[in-house]
Chain A
Amino acid sequence: MSGLSSLEKVLGSKELLYTLLLLSVILPILHPLGIPVEISQRTRDVYGYIEKNLRSGCRVYIEVYYEVAARGELEPNLIALTKHLFDKGCKIVYGSLGAFGVVAFSLFKSMASDLFEGKEYGRDYVYLGYIAGGEAASASLAKSIKGTISVDNYGNRLEDLPLMREVDKATDFDLVIIVSSGTDVFSYYVRQWHTPYGVPLLFAALSVIAPSIEPFVGAKQAVGMLVGQRSAAEYEVLVGRLGLGIASMDAQSTSHMLIVAFIIIGNAIYWGKRVSSKKGGSK
């Protein structure tokens, strides 16, 4: 066996790669490298849109649609956006078209309890809870929230909540933010909220689904998009509340570099073996 083949076998052992990957995540968290976070123009544009277009008293609807696994990527986005909106004096109605949204919202609230201090439930924010039905539920809520569900997630009658007396249908909202780990939900809102009613949408998406929903942003069906943990870290810097997004950035860098190194070594071995076999060397 040639040197290249034995190197390939050693590096190909899954136990080695998995252990290195775990270490590349854990070590930078225990000993942060402190690499500065540069803010991209796209994140600045989203921040600028909210700064420019939303005034105190504006009403925003936020769709919380991500499973617990996606917390690391989407919860920091949700926290940073909520902080920005509350700082601007906006009122927020949260809702979930996915059952897991209820757990996600519950964990989000406990992680960002400081944001809700001084905010009154029912007046400044409301959580509608889970509404089954996917696209049908989305269409129904766009026509009338109170006509779809009568009570919120905590059993309060919507008619008794001051904020819900101000808003009922899609056009009552100044901005709709979709924080989602599923591609379908972005399509639901584009089709049932933006296309018929022209409500401005803002996407906060998991990195892996961002490329596939980019055409909606490109066609101006959404005002902008925050993509995963990187955008979250940038937005945390912009709103001045550092959290999980920024804490993850060093670990993201080291683990990505490990994977890149393995891809390059894998290809170097592949080409090395190919060249040597063409020259008639050992196979």
Chain B
Amino acid sequence: MISWDLFGAWLCAAMVVWIYSFVYRDNVFYKVAEHMFVGTAAGYSIALALDSLNRVLISPAVRSPQTFLTTSWHYLIPAILGVLMFAKYSRKYYWLARYAVAINIAVGTGLALRTVPIANVVRQITATIVPLWGSDPVKVFNNWVLVLITLGGLTYFLFTIFPRRVEGARASPQHLVYRALYYIGIYGMMVGFGALFANTIMTRVGFLISIYLIYIQPQAWASIIAAVLAAIAIIVGILRKK
């Protein structure tokens, strides 16, 4: 007897194999899986938005309307503005949607603006102000690396006024310092990007391993059947092209 759970597990395995078949060649099973994904993802997104709206706005309004009207009545304003977002489909009244967008953008920017100077700028600068002399040579070396690469990166990204070297004349000390920091910045970033590249492989391989462990291996027969179907679709696709 096939239960919904068993059917679901087989569907899981089939979906994964059909999507993987794309790396060999585009085929009809991949397209079906892709469109199933888009449909469920969009439906899921709408449902979860409703869920959030329900728990923030509708549930308190329905369960205790008196309290809601006295303390949270102002929630009706964003609710009305939210409904007005659908005006974007109108040729005439599309601008009504801008009011809701304006509030969202302003609140997001305002919230970020008030802490970004501390979190992203001041704290990062103070963390780079470290002792460059001391008794522990390893710590001193690390601090030099930290300071030089940070200054180098800033020189590369932010200090856009570069002291020029006059043709024929000797390079000025400012020019040499800038040039040195500029190259330290580039090489420092190469180290960072090397680490990023290695970690990217780690993540991508991790995705593949977990897919195999979670969805394919437990339902081996479903995977084999799905793979055979995908292989047939790929062969049919190749023959048709020929």
Contacts and interface: CB of A to CB of B under 8 A. Distances in A.
Q: Do chains A and B touch in the complex (CB under 8 A)?
A: yes
Interface of A: 14-15, 18, 21, 25-26, 29, 69-73, 75, 99, 102-103, 129-136, 139, 148-152, 157, 187, 190-192, 194-196, 206-208, 210-212, 215-216, 218-221, 227-230, 244, 247-248, 251-252, 255-256, 259
Contacts of B213: 29, 72, 244, 247-248
Contacts of A130: 48, 51-52
B210 A71 contact: yes
Contact of A207 (B45, B111, B120, B206): B206
Given A71-B214, A131-B55, A139-B111, 8 more contacts: A70-B203, A129-B51, A132-B52, A192-B115, A248-B206, A248-B209, A252-B206, A256-B201
- Which label, helix, strand, loop or mixed, suits the secondary structure of the B interface? helix
Nearest to B146: A218
B210 A259 contact: no
Nearest to A73: B206
Contacts of B209: 25, 29, 72, 229, 248, 251-252, 255
Contact of B55 (A129, A220, A244): A129
A11 B55 CA distance: 55
B24 A73 contact: no
A192 B118 CA distance: 11
A195 B48 contact: no
Interface residues of B, number: 48
Given A73-B210, A149-B56, A210-B199, A135 B111 contact: yes
Nearest to A218: B127
A56 B120 CA distance: 34
Nearest to B64: A150
Contacts of B59: 150-151
B23 interface: yes
B55 to A, nearest CB: 5
Contacts of A259: 201, 205
B199 A134 contact: no
> 4 shortest A-B CB distances, which residue pairs?
A72-B210, A219-B127, A99-B48, A207-B202
Interface string B88-120: 000000000000000010011001100110111
Contacts of B138: none
Interface of B: 23-24, 44-45, 48-49, 51-53, 55-56, 59-60, 63, 104, 107-108, 111-112, 115-116, 118-120, 123-124, 126-127, 192, 195-196, 199-214, 217
29 contacts: A18-B23, A29-B209, A72-B213, A72-B214, A73-B210, A75-B210, A99-B45, A131-B55, A132-B56, A136-B104, A148-B56, A149-B55, A150-B59, A151-B55, A191-B115, A192-B115, A194-B119, A207-B203, A208-B196, A208-B204, A211-B195, A211-B196, A219-B123, A229-B206, A229-B209, A230-B202, A244-B214, A252-B205, A252-B206
Contacts of A18: 23-24
A26 B227 CA distance: 16
Contact of A219 (B115, B126, B204): B126
